[in-house]
Homo-oligomer: A and B are copies of this chain.
Amino acid sequence: MALIVQKYGGTSVANIDKLHNVASRVVAAKEKGNEVVVVLSAMAGETDRLIQLALSASDNPMDREYDALISTGEQVTVTLLTMILNKMGYKAKSFLGHQVKILTDKAHTKARIISIDTEKTLDELRKGHIVVVAGFQGADHEGNITTLGRGGSDTSAVAIAAALKADYCEIFTDVNGVYTTDPNIYDKAKKLRKISYEEMLELASAGAKVLQQRSVELAKIYEVPVYVRSSFTNDGGTLVTKEDKDMEKEVVSGVTYDRDQAKITVVHVPDKPGIAARLFTPLSDQNIVVDMIIQNASVDAFTDLTFTVPRKDIRQCQTILHKVAEEIGAERLEFDENISKVSIVGVGMKSHAGVASRMFAALANEGINILMISTSEIKISCVIESKYTELAVRVLHDAFGLEQKI
Contact = CB atoms under 8 A, between A and B. Distances in A.
Contacts of A65: 79-80, 82-83, 86, 94
Given A68-B94, A82-B65, A16 B53 contact: yes
A61 interface: yes
Interface in A33-56: 50, 53-54, 56
A72 interface: yes
Determine how many copies of this chain the complex contains: 2
Contact of A75 (B19, B57, B69, B84): B69
Interface in A298-349: none
Residue from A53, A61, A65, A81 having most chain B Cβ neighbours under 10 A: A65
A143 B143 CA distance: 12
A75 B72 contact: yes
Residue from A53, A66, A71 having most chain B Cβ neighbours under 10 A: A53
A69 B80 contact: yes
A79 B84 contact: no
Contact of A58 (B84, B93, B99): B84
Interface residues of A, number: 38
A87 B58 contact: yes
A395 interface: no
A76 interface: yes
Residue from A66, A83, A98 having most chain B Cβ neighbours under 10 A: A83
A406 interface: no
Contact of A87 (B60, B83, B99): B60
A76 B80 contact: no
Interface string A234-253: 00000000000000000000
B75 A54 contact: no
Interface string A266-297: 00000000000000000000000000000000
Contacts of A99: 143-144
A1 interface: no
A186 to B, nearest CB: 40
A96 interface: yes
Interface of A: 16, 19, 50, 53-54, 56-62, 64-66, 68-69, 71-72, 75-76, 78-84, 86-87, 93-94, 96, 98-99, 143-145
Given A57-B80, A68-B79, A99-B143, 10 more contacts: A53-B76, A54-B79, A57-B83, A57-B87, A60-B87, A66-B79, A68-B75, A69-B75, A69-B79, A72-B76
30 contacts: A16-B53, A53-B76, A53-B80, A54-B79, A54-B83, A57-B80, A58-B84, A58-B86, A58-B87, A59-B87, A60-B87, A62-B82, A62-B86, A64-B93, A65-B79, A65-B80, A65-B83, A65-B86, A68-B79, A68-B94, A69-B75, A69-B79, A69-B83, A71-B75, A72-B72, A75-B75, A96-B145, A98-B98, A98-B143, A99-B143
Closest 9 CB pairs of A and B: A69-B79, A57-B83, A72-B72, A58-B87, A58-B83, A65-B79, A61-B83, A57-B80, A65-B82
